[in-house]
Amino acid sequence: MTDLFSAPPGLPPRSTLRRDCVACGACCSAPDITALSKPLGVACRHLEAFQPGVGCLCRIYAARPPVCRSYAPDWVCGEVAPLPTLEARTQRFLDLYGLEGGGAPAGGLSP
């Protein structure tokens, strides 16, 4: 089975310290989520503000759409999770995929 935390060919190795979800919020901010009418690069309206020791959590976690349920942490998490703010994590996520966001993450969600 392929290790989801192995960097793609041509990219440097990623952190081996981040292999589980650490509630950094990047996956709820960077990609577009059509099922939630969430544009690229904008924090999901269901993403709670960062709480020290907890992270950024989903307000509708139990009822989240299938696209969110099927997302699994991978090598990108090891690249973005250590960054200090949600804005920095979102931007790095977008940069990794060569994407440009539609706007800044909603205010109050950092770090």
**pLDDT tens digit string along 75-84?**
888 889 889 9
Tens digit of each residue's pLDDT (9 = 90 or more) over 45-81: 999 998 888 889 999 999 999 999 998 888 888 889 8
Output the DSSP codes for 30-60: SS-BGGGTBPTTS--TTBPPPBTTTB--BTT
Beta-carbon count within 10 A of 46 CB: 17
- Which CA distances in Å does 57 have to 7, 47, 54, 62? 26, 6, 8, 11
pTM reported for the whole predicted model: 0.74
Tokens of 27: 């996956």
11 residue type, one letter: L
Distance between CA 99 and CA 62 in Å, rounded?
Answer: 29
